[in-house]
Amino acid sequence: AGYLVGLAGLGSAHAPLDLLVDGAPYLLRLDPELARAALTEPRRSALVASLVELAHRLETHVQAPGMTGREQILHLREAGVRLVQGPALAPRDWVPGMPVSIPVAAERPEPARPDPGLEPRVSEFTIPAVTLPQTATADEVLTVLNAEAGVTSVVLVDDRQRPLCTVDRTR
């Protein structure tokens, strides 16, 4: 099954773009300075929008770290960023139980964007998930089901860990 990979510093790191294709990362983390500057600098905003579009076409999530203001978050949301992090959401001394600020834009229709194919992965809903690649044989599935009594089903996933079908013990 392996690990989900993330790459940081997108937009400023000295990493070749083909690494995004060959590495097939789950998450791309924008450079914090680039993400913050996108609000006030049109050229950096265009770069962020292009990187987000590229990431979505590669079926990869994008995160903007270090967000310090509501306007930054809303601007990046318009560019397609759905994951943010920083003191704009909660103070640095935040502990569980304290409130969290979630900026919400005024109601207006979102521009039509192609579906980036970022459906949830099995691992985001089940802990732990018993998954096998879609190429698994019936013998491999049977071995997993017989290995432990608690295993009631197996989820077959594609190479990006998205569920394709389930095999239930009772069927």
- The per-residue pLDDT for range 83-118, each reduced to its tens digit, is 999 888 888 888 888 888 777 766 656 566 666 666
Per-residue pLDDT at 127: 44
- Same domain for 154 and 83? no
- Same domain for 127 and 93? no
Token pair 């292009």 is found at: 50
- Same domain for 143 and 64? no
DSSP 13: S
- Same domain for 74 and 103? yes
The list of the chain residues with pLDDT below 50 reads 124, 127
Rounded to whole angstroms, how far apart are CA atoms 54 and 48? 10
Burial of 43 from C-beta contacts in 10 A (0-12 / 13-18 / 19+):
exposed
Q: What is the pTM of this model?
A: 0.61
Asked which of 79, 100, 115 is the last residue of a domain, the reply is: 115
- Same domain for 59 and 130? no
Instruction: Please give the tally of structural domains in the chain.
Output: 2
- Same domain for 63 and 142? no
Closest CA to 62 of 72, 48, 46: 48
Domain that holds residue 77: 1-115
In sequence order, the 6+-apart residues with CB closer than 8 A to the CB of 76 are 35, 38, 48, 64, 67, 84
- Same domain for 67 and 151? no
- Same domain for 37 and 109? yes
Q: Which residues, listed in sequence order, are joined to residue 29 by a DSSP beta bridge?
A: 8, 63
- Same domain for 110 and 60? yes
- Give yes or no for a cis peptide into 128 (omega within 30° of 0): yes
Per-residue pLDDT at 109: 60
For residue 19, is it left (φ>0), alpha (ψ between -120 and 50) or beta?
alpha
